[in-house]
Structure 1
Amino acid sequence: MSVDQRSGAERAAIEWEVRLREPATDERALRAFRKWHDGAPEHAAAWASLQRRLGLMGGRSGSGGGIAVARALRHPVEERRRALRAAFGTAVLAISGTGGWKLAHELGYDATWRSGVGEHGAATLADGSALRFDAASRIDLGTGRGPMRLHLRQGQLLVRARRALTVTVAGADIDCDGAELCAGRLGRRGIVAVRGGSAVLRVPGVRAVELASGDTLTFDGAGALSSPLSFNAAAGWTRGMLVADRLPLPDLAEAFGRYHRGILRVSGAAAGHVISGVFRLADLDGALRQIAGALPVRVNRYGLLAIIE
């Protein structure tokens, strides 16, 4: 293999790493990746080399380096390219020392509170309310008069509200006062559960829905549906668990993406399946075995990329 061939394959591997991390990755992109990967030995070798070096930079799954790399890779496309090229170089994919780490740490962390991939966070609000948030979450504290407002841009949160509080998530507002509230996104829908008080869910253009203590709802722009999940089940992430009740497989994959540096994609007919069960969020391999045992799907691995199809 010539130097030019190797360099071109390495650049293509970086581009595929960036592209496959896009949430909108579709079946056509996955087919194109497999065609590229299997089309020449230097392509497979470049991909394997990149995956090994990503693993080396990550070290143990909970290490700070792994979190930094995963954070960088989940930023917008051009920033991910910059992070990968700075960390690996476009010609030799060599680890470049502190420069790559510095770039990864400085990529636009503008939320009031945020957590990295695989790490939970906690804070205390100005009124003394206790806030906890899931891995890969972003939360903004609203400004202005009136009740305190939290905007959950990404992830999930649990708050014990001491006073009136509004949480904005998935395009809806959730008002509560003195209740314990668990809210967030599960793939394409929002979820809210309340305990020890009541809450009101306000979806634009849809009649407001009241929640009593013990109620759990899922919702999107069309409205809300009652969920059989208990408060403890909805808040399972606080204990490292995900409790699924007929959860679409792509949404399960998205939840695991908050905890792992790798890429998990659902392709073809597998995207139409739903699954129920209890999953340990730290155990991706175990979850993949659960999925393969419960559904008529297969799992193909390409280093840190896993495709369920």
Structure 2
Amino acid sequence: MLFDELTTMNGAAAIHPAAQEAIEWEVRLRGEAVSQRERDQFETWRRADPAHEDAWARLQERLTRLGALRSASSVAVRRALDEPSHARRRMLKAGAGFAALALAGIGTRELVKVYSLDADYHNGSTAPEKLALSDGTPMTLGAAARVYAAGDGSGATRDNIYLAAGQIAARGTAAKRQPLIVKTRDGIVQTNEARLSVDALRLHTVVAVQGGDAMLSAHAGSRIHAPDGSAWSISSGRIARMPETSADIFAWTHGTLVVLDRAVPDVVETLGRYYRGYIRFPEAALARKVSGVFPLNDVDAALRQLAEGLGLSLKLYGKVLAVASEG
């Protein structure tokens, strides 16, 4: 993931014209047959406005940092992620150990914030990962999922899960004295025996309920009963029923993204967890909605499918850039 302006571009917010032009020049200059005329035009663009030079410098800085993160992922970041949660926290706090020393060169604090390196559970793979919490609660982590759980010293109650990023599936157990509780920045989901899919997206939290019912609460106070088979959106104090069924939402656990009349930023963000690079779609496309079935085990094909469905063409530059455009 890129930071600041680039992170915003991957969501629904508007792109600053200079930043958008910088990305377009980056893509053009990566082409195999770049003419001298194009290079001269690029230099003219850079000199035409201080905002252009600033946007270009910021883009290069973030692409460089992305490269640093990727090269470090096989050593420093991976070592940090593979540490048990208590050891990882101690290492990050003390700034000690091989991984911490290596991470320091690219900003340990920023990595902790962006990647939630102190999370109790995480999935660095694109395949769903099954595990059990310390109390035996079964849970499946989707790509890039980051979870904080009870027993981490925070004083949280038993079976209390905070989903910081990504998507999880977890099941409540009626035999336990306390319900399963999953929290996100948007709200709280509580159940005694249902299976839950909870997806912490930037614009909202998507919840699906199977095999029982659940109680959904928005942080602003709204509260509703969610029956078996339903799917819901929680955002900014609002809870709304979604057109998908719970089976549609749970399809991610089998490698498929199913959406009905879904905002494009949701789909781009989800596919971004599997692509891991920077994805750019035109601002006009981000204001639209789509329906479809997208293969999560072939993210390149999924991105092309999304672009074609919006009447756009897509260019992929390895696993660093995916740029959709008209024509």
TM-score (norm 2): 0.67
SS at match of 2:275: coil
**2 CA distance for matches of 1:86 and 1:206?**
39
- Counterpart of 2:77, as a letter, is A
In structure 2, the partner of 1:235 is 250
**2 CA distance for matches of 1:118 and 1:258?**
8
CA drift at 1:232: 1.6
Contact 2:315–2:324 (8 Å) recurs in 1: yes
Q: 2:304 aligns with which of 280, 289, 293?
A: 289
**2 CA distance for matches of 1:78 and 1:140?**
31
**2 CA distance for matches of 1:81 and 1:219?**
36
**2 CA distance for matches of 1:133 and 1:219?**
20
**2 CA distance for matches of 1:86 and 1:229?**
36
CA drift at 1:263: 2.4
SS at match of 1:259: helix
In structure 1, the partner of 2:232 is 217
CA drift at 1:86: 8.4
Q: Does 2:278 match 1:263?
A: yes
- Counterpart of 2:75, as a letter, is K
**1 CA distance for matches of 2:197 and 2:230?**
11
- 1:269-309 superposed Cα distances (whole Å, 9 cap, x missing partner): 11112110111012223223322432222323344311223
**2 CA distance for matches of 1:102 and 1:214?**
42
TM-score (norm 1): 0.71
CA drift at 1:206: 3.0
- Counterpart of 1:219, as a letter, is I
RMSD: 3.2
**2 CA distance for matches of 1:100 and 1:287?**
25
Task: Give the % identical residues.
Answer: 27
In structure 2, the partner of 1:24 is 8
**Residue ranges of structure 1 left out of the alignment (5+ in a row):** 1-16, 46-76, 89-98
- 1:209-249 superposed Cα distances (whole Å, 9 cap, x missing partner): 11121221112014011112222211111000000111222
- Counterpart of 1:151, as a letter, is Y
**Residue ranges of structure 2 left out of the alignment (5+ in a row):** 10-14, 36-59, 81-102, 104-111
In structure 2, the partner of 1:249 is 264
Q: 1:121 aligns with which of 124, 129, 140?
A: 129
CA drift at 1:261: 3.5
Contact 1:167–1:174 (8 Å) recurs in 2: yes
Contact 1:37–1:44 (8 Å) recurs in 2: no
- Counterpart of 2:323, as a letter, is I
**2 CA distance for matches of 1:23 and 1:182?**
25
SS at match of 2:190: strand
SS at match of 1:184: strand
**2 CA distance for matches of 1:40 and 1:297?**
20
Alignment length (residue pairs): 252
Contact 1:117–1:261 (8 Å) recurs in 2: no
- Counterpart of 1:234, as a letter, is I
**1 CA distance for matches of 2:243 and 2:70?**
45
Contact 2:304–2:313 (8 Å) recurs in 1: no
- Kindly tell me: are residues 121 and 303 of structure 1, through their superposed partners in 2, closer, same or farther at Cα, counting changes over 3 Å? closer
- Kindly tell me: are residues 209 and 40 of structure 1, through their superposed partners in 2, closer, same or farther at Cα, counting changes over 3 Å? closer
Contact 2:186–2:237 (8 Å) recurs in 1: no
**2 CA distance for matches of 1:82 and 1:237?**
30
In structure 1, the partner of 2:55 is none
SS at match of 2:161: strand
- Kindly tell me: are residues 276 and 137 of structure 1, through their superposed partners in 2, closer, same or farther at Cα, counting changes over 3 Å? same
- Kindly tell me: are residues 43 and 206 of structure 1, through their superposed partners in 2, closer, same or farther at Cα, counting changes over 3 Å? farther
In structure 2, the partner of 1:156 is 167
In structure 2, the partner of 1:191 is 206
Q: Does 2:77 match 1:104?
A: yes
**2 CA distance for matches of 1:44 and 1:166?**
55
CA drift at 1:179: 1.7
SS at match of 1:127: coil
- Kindly tell me: are residues 20 and 300 of structure 1, through their superposed partners in 2, closer, same or farther at Cα, counting changes over 3 Å? farther
In structure 1, the partner of 2:139 is 131
Contact 2:212–2:228 (8 Å) recurs in 1: yes
CA drift at 1:30: 2.7
**1 CA distance for matches of 2:216 and 2:311?**
37
Contact 2:263–2:290 (8 Å) recurs in 1: yes
- Kindly tell me: are residues 41 and 256 of structure 1, through their superposed partners in 2, closer, same or farther at Cα, counting changes over 3 Å? closer
**2 CA distance for matches of 1:86 and 1:191?**
29
**2 CA distance for matches of 1:114 and 1:200?**
25
- Counterpart of 1:289, as a letter, is R
Moved more, 185-194 or 17-26: 17-26
Contact 2:194–2:214 (8 Å) recurs in 1: yes
CA drift at 1:266: 1.6
- Kindly tell me: are residues 200 and 101 of structure 1, through their superposed partners in 2, closer, same or farther at Cα, counting changes over 3 Å? same
- Kindly tell me: are residues 80 and 149 of structure 1, through their superposed partners in 2, closer, same or farther at Cα, counting changes over 3 Å? farther
